[in-house]
Amino acid sequence: MTGSAKMGLGKRGSKTLGLALLVVLLTPLSQAMESEWPMTPMNPDLQNLPSLQNGWRLFTNYCLGCHSLKYQRYERTADDLGVPHDIVLEQLLFSGQKIGEQMTTAMDPEMAKNWFGAPPPDLTMVARLRGVDWLYNYLRTFYLDESRPFGVNNKVFPNVGMPNVLQELQGTQTTGCASAAEENCGELVLLEGSGQYTSEEFDQAVYDIVNFLYYTGEPSRLERHRTGVFVLLFLVILFVFTFLLGREYQKDVKH
Ligand code: HEC
């Protein structure tokens, strides 16, 4: 009995090893495939509260319908981002939830899978999984492609199952190609005046959403930053006193 159990484990062990090797071998491949698009870098800024607040608002309006942030609570977010609770209750809590609850989505995962081919994943940690540059470029590179179910494709995530939910803000982008079969044929071109935002305003909006997702990826980073500033201030004050004390000693030595 023990022997066969051991053997079973051994088999499973080698399977796991094989799988791990496969992952190790395939990871650089998939990354190389994804990084073909020349990524515009994005530098998150957790000190920029208006940006984080706007990101939260945009996320609630344009993303939460499909994607949850289930490791993030409304109340904690409000306190971290300096949003008064009554504003959260009025403007950010749509689904009759309570402020102490997590930001779940009303979307049923099974139905979503039928509609989109893939269920919209939870996005709490997405900035850590994909990186902020990836997210920033992903949300800005949807373009028209009639061959896709939602009529759009994406430069950073080819053949993605997500519709272009920010199209009304950004406007319509094309590649100047007839179909997606012609890969990489030309730059993205924005149809002038087709969106509510100018391209600068749109880039800022996407920046704010990604900044917000960077925050949800590790909310304690905000706290750590504040503690860091406090520690530095403490060190500066300590230095001043040490310096003055040192001068006193010098005087004694000289006399
Ligand atoms: C109508 C539903 C819907 C809305 C609204 C929506 N998405 Fe998606 N999203 C999806 C689906 C479906 C996928 C999975 C696509 C796939 O795997 O092919 C997805 C995938 C993603 C991914 C890729 C996740 C990964 O790591 O694979 C990101 C990032 C993302 N969405 C961000 C957003 C953001 C940000 C918003 C709001 C601006 C948003 N989505 C709004 C349906 C939606």
160 confidence band (pLDDT: 50, 70, 90): very high
CA angle 139, 143, 148 (to 5 degrees): 110
Q: Which atom of ligand 1 is nearest to the CA of 209?
A: 35
Q: How far is CA 133 from CA 127, 138, 167, 215, in A?
A: 9, 8, 20, 14
- Give the separation between CA 219 and CA 54, rounded to whole angstroms: 16
The residue contributing the CA closest to ligand 1 atom 35 is 63
- Give the separation between CA 12 and CA 239, rounded to whole angstroms: 59
Above 90 in pLDDT, residue 132? yes
165 alpha carbon – ligand 1 mean position (Å): 9
154 alpha carbon – ligand 1 mean position (Å): 12
177 lines ligand 1 (CB under 6 A): no
148 confidence band (pLDDT: 50, 70, 90): very high
Above 80 in pLDDT, residue 83? yes
CA atoms within 13 A on the CB side of 113: 2
Q: In the structure encoding, which two tokens stand for residue 229, read together?
A: 């500033």
- Give the separation between CA 61 and CA 119, rounded to whole angstroms: 19
The residue contributing the CA closest to ligand 1 atom 29 is 135
206 lines ligand 1 (CB under 6 A): no
103 lines ligand 1 (CB under 6 A): no
The residue contributing the CA closest to ligand 1 atom 41 is 63
131 in Cβ contact with 31 (< 8 Å) = no
Q: In the structure encoding, which two tokens stand for residue 252, read together?
A: 């004694």
pLDDT 10s digits, 35-52: 578 999 999 999 999 999
Furthest C-alpha separation in the chain: 90
The residue contributing the CA closest to ligand 1 atom 15 is 161
Above 70 in pLDDT, residue 75? yes
Residue that wins the pLDDT comparison between 32 and 129: 129
Count CB-CB contacts under 10 A for residue 203: 17
What pLDDT does 8 receive?
44
The residue contributing the CA closest to ligand 1 atom 2 is 66
Above 90 in pLDDT, residue 102? yes
